[in-house]
Amino acid sequence: MEKLLLALVLACQPGDRLWDLSGKLPRNLQFIDLVLSVDPIYTRLYIYAPGLPSEFQQCCSNKPTSVLRLPVGDGRFCIRQSQRQMKWRIQAIGRADIES
């Protein structure tokens, strides 16, 4: 029962996609930059951590391309489209964080 509740909390909302980068990112990476492209330009993509749909970041505010900087967390993200027939593309850019 406990595992089922945990799975529900960590899941994406119905209709949203789970994007799992957990095995592909370096362990010390704290932030990831995402280059997002949408078509048509009036559509939106919403990206949030699983279980936290109210804390989303959106793209692209009537621009064809935008960059979002997200905390990596556990390396999993949920993606929601504003329209069913839209096209989108995401490129992840991981950089080591610079400390001074």
Residue with tokens 């850019």: 93
**pLDDT, tens digit, 9 for 90 and up, residues 44-85:** 999 998 988 888 888 888 889 999 998 888 889 999 999 989
| Sequential DSSP letters for 14-79 | TTPEEEE-TTTS-TT--EEEEEEEEESTT--EEEE-TT-TTS-EEE-SS-SEEEEEEE-TTSEEEE
**pLDDT, tens digit, 9 for 90 and up, residues 3-23:** 544 454 558 889 899 999 888
Is pLDDT above 80 for 98?
Answer: no
Rounded to two decimals, the pTM is: 0.77
Whole-number pLDDT of residue 100: 43
Whole-number pLDDT of residue 3: 52
